[in-house]
């Protein structure tokens, strides 16, 4: 069976850019930029081939290896050109192999959208966009903002699609997730993997080419941390999974800041830590609601391992730490009075709901806290974005 549309698209893009790399040898900066764009597309071809289309793996891997060798042999023009030409030829062969065979089953576009987890993505994009406003100390340039949001969205969507693939066994065991596209069989694991890998590669290409390399690298690191560290390892092995794994969800503000400034500084760390500390009380409130699902799937979430009372106690402690941290940027002069008012009012309500849950473990209170935590983070980051505009 031939590759799915996403891996074929990635292969065509890789072939086009590799050809441009060869043709642009005398263009200096443009040539180096094209090299940076071609590399992730070739890596995506290799990964997609390894997991879903082994017949093209050797050709894809050889093309990538020769491409890297060509880059490394810049000091010898004859060798450099020979290796680049060979890399191009093998990319052509690998692309042709991915196009051979029968067509895969069609997939409804709605299922592809579902793979990207749009509701989760919307909050991640909001924090990333707010990070841009904070970094720019005002409204960032429109073109840069759009490029960053689209690139970040591709990274988030790619990571979510790969999460569907890795968690398909768990998802089938949980009522909340049993109807997800991969778990339900509407999208094959191979097509979902191709989709996720291609989106991740396109994210790096877009951010590196129209924003900056730092933003592209940060988005890629967040993607890999979520997929490999949290989903593949922590989620199945420790009740502290969401504490450490929350670092992945805290990366978008760093991407936004880096997009606006080209660097990382102390205020960006505040944004990262706020999301990092917000994640455990937010997710543990949900875990209290669906504890039986996690038990059925044998996932060691805190309520399953330590019980509901200990989970509620940890929620209060993390919420207290979070609210305290949100006041630190005001003391250091990062934010002004509008943000301070928002942080105090929103934080007081968060603490009140967390304490209420500690006193009464009724599912209704856990549900209220979970939904409020979403509004809390969104409103807090909106206040961050607006704060420089009213000074």
Q: How many CB atoms lie within 10 A of CB 120?
A: 16
Query: What average pLDDT does this structure show over 130-141?
Result: 94
305-316 tens-digit pLDDT: 999 999 999 999
pLDDT of residue 30: 75
The pair of three-digit structure tokens given for residue 310, joined into one six-digit string: 């200990």
Which among 249, 250, 251, 246 has a CA at the least distance from the CA of 217? 251
The residues, ordered by sequence, that sit 6+ positions from 25 with a Cβ below 8 Å of its Cβ are 31, 81, 84
Query: What average pLDDT does this structure show over 247-266?
Result: 95
The residues, ordered by sequence, that sit 6+ positions from 226 with a Cβ below 8 Å of its Cβ are 159, 163, 245, 248, 249
Lowest-confidence segment of 17-31, 217-231, 282-296, 328-342 by average pLDDT: 17-31
The pair of three-digit structure tokens given for residue 369, joined into one six-digit string: 């806290």
Query: What average pLDDT does this structure show over 282-291?
Result: 94
The CATH architecture annotation of domain 107-264 reads Orthogonal Bundle (1.10)
The pair of three-digit structure tokens given for residue 309, joined into one six-digit string: 């009372």
Lowest-confidence segment of 19-33, 203-217, 265-279, 364-378 by average pLDDT: 19-33
pLDDT more than 70, % of the chain: 98
pLDDT, the chain, mean? 92
CA distance 250 to 339: 19
pLDDT of residue 52: 81
Whether the predicted pLDDT of 12 surpasses 90 = yes
Q: 296 to each of 166, 175, 293, 301, 374, how far by Cα in Å?
A: 17, 10, 5, 12, 26
Whether the predicted pLDDT of 28 surpasses 70 = no
76-91 tens-digit pLDDT: 888 888 998 999 999 9
Lowest-confidence segment of 175-179, 268-272, 328-332 by average pLDDT: 175-179
CA distance 250 to 225: 11
Lowest-confidence segment of 1-5, 160-164, 325-329, 366-370 by average pLDDT: 1-5
Q: Is 296 exposed, middle or buried (0-12, 13-18, 19+ CB in 10 A)?
A: middle
CA distance 36 to 28: 13
What secondary structure does DSSP assign to 103-141, as a single string?
A: PPPP--HHHHHHHT-HHHHHHHHHHHHHHHHHHHTSPPP
pLDDT of residue 78: 86
Query: What average pLDDT does this structure show over 105-119?
Result: 91
Q: How many CB atoms lie within 10 A of CB 379?
A: 15
Confidence of residue 25 (pLDDT cuts 50, 70, 90): low
43-70 tens-digit pLDDT: 999 999 998 888 899 999 999 999 999 9
147-169 tens-digit pLDDT: 999 999 999 999 999 999 999 99
Confidence of residue 27 (pLDDT cuts 50, 70, 90): low
pLDDT of residue 26: 60
pLDDT of residue 262: 93
pLDDT more than 90, % of the chain: 77
Q: Which of 209-213, 245-249, 346-350: highest mean pLDDT?
A: 346-350
């Amino acid at each position: 069976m031939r590759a799915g549309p996403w891996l074929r698209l990635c292969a065509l893009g890789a072939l086009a850019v590799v050809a441009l790399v060869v043709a642009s040898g005398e263009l200096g900066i443009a040539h180096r930029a094209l090299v940076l764009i071609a590399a992730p597309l070739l890596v995506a071809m290799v990964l997609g081939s390894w997991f879903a289309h082994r017949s093209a793996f050797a050709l894809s891997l050889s093309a990538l290896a020769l491409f890297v060798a060509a880059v490394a042999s810049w000091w010898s023009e004859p060798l450099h050109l020979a290796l680049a030409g060979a890399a191009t030829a093998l990319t052509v062969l690998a692309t042709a192999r991915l196009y051979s065979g029968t067509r895969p089953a069609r997939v409804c576009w709605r299922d592809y959208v579902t793979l990207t987890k749009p509701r989760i993505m919307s909050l991640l994009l909001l924090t990333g966009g707010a990070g841009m406003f904070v970094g720019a100390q005002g409204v960032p340039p429109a073109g840069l903002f759009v490029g960053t949001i689209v690139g970040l969205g591709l990274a988030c969507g790619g990571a979510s699609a790969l999460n569907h693939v890795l968690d398909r066994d768990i998802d089938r065991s949980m009522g909340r997730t049993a109807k997800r596209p991969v778990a339900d069989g509407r999208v094959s694991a191979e097509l979902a993997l191709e989709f996720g890998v291609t989106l991740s590669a396109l994210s790096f290409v877009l951010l590196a080419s129209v924003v900056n390399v730092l933003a592209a690298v940060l988005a890629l690191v967040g993607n890999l941390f979520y997929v490999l560290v949290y989903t593949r390892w922590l989620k199945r092995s420790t009740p502290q999974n969401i504490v450490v794994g929350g670092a992945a969800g805290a990366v978008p503000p760093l991407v936004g800041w880096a997009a606006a400034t080209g660097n990382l500084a102390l205020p960006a760390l505040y944004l990262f830590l706020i999301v990092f500390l917000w994640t455990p009380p937010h997710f543990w409130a949900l875990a209290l609601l669906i504890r039986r699902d996690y038990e059925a799937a044998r996932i060691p979430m805190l309520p399953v391992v330590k019980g509901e009372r200990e989970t509620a106690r940890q929620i209060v402690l993390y919420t207290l730490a979070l609210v305290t941290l949100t006041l630190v940027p005001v003391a250091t002069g990062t934010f002004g009075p509008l943000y301070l008012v928002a942080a105090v009012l929103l934080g007081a309500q968060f603490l009140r709901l967390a304490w209420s849950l500690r006193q009464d473990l009724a599912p209704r209170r856990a549900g209220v806290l979970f939904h409020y935590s979403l509004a809390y983070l969104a409103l807090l980051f909106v206040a961050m974005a607006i704060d420089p505009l009213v000074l």
